[in-house]
Amino acid sequence: MDQSWLPGEIRSGEKMSNLSPQLIERFSSLAGQYISDFDPARAKKLYCCIFHPDRTPSLSINVEAGVFHCFGCGQSGGVKDFARLVGEPWNSARGESRAARARRARFHAEQQARAILERRAEARSRTLCAEHREVFAEIVAAADLLALFYRRPDLAAEFPVLATRTGKEYGEALFKQSLLEAQLEREVSI
């Protein structure tokens, strides 16, 4: 059946959107401005959310339908809501209220702060990983020495101070390792 005379949104399955091309364009440009890996060629895609710290993409954007929804923080709405959330003026920049400008400045500042915090967290995880490797090497060295003392009690008797110190170091390294692991766990699960 020829449906070409029907308005786009009614034509079966072809186009779900009743959004004007201008509005689609507006949404696309707003999203492109705020989502660094935004792909205007994709009508629907998941991105890392810009409204909450997000490591795995949970913000669904359907440009053609003009809607967005985040499965992480629950922010959702239409093009106008998106503009409001990022603090962009809806009509013209000339008529932009002071409140809208303030909102936009705040959103930019928050985004920057978030990026800095994320970079810091990454650097911190790298440091923690390096410390973890060091402690692990300490544990292995101490365990080797303890095993030797265990196999050769005569050596342990000959070097009692070293044997005691190694045992102590081994225990301390194990403790340090468990602390680091707990810290790393926290860093990763943010």
Q: Minimal distance in Å, beta carbon 49 to Zn ion?
A: 3
15-74: contacts with Zn ion (CB under 5 A) = 49, 51-52, 70, 72-73
- Alpha-carbon span 88 to 95, nearest angstrom: 12
Structure tokens at 4: 């070409």
Q: Indicate the helix (H) or strand (E) that contains 105.
A: helix 98-151
- Asked if 86 touches Zn ion (CB under 5 A), the answer is no
DSSP assignment letter at 28: H
Q: Minimal distance in Å, beta carbon 177 to Zn ion?
A: 35
- Alpha-carbon span 44 to 50, nearest angstrom: 16
Q: How many residues line the site for Zn ion (CB under 5 A)?
A: 6
Q: Minimal distance in Å, beta carbon 108 to Zn ion?
A: 17
Is residue 75 within 8 A of residue 51, CB to CB? The reply is yes
What phi and psi, each to the nearest 5 degrees, are found at residue 22?
Answer: -65, -40
Q: Minimal distance in Å, beta carbon 74 to Zn ion?
A: 7
128-187: contacts with Zn ion (CB under 5 A) = none
Nearer to Zn ion, 72 or 77 (CB): 72
- Positions touching Zn ion (CB under 5 A) are 49, 51-52, 70, 72-73
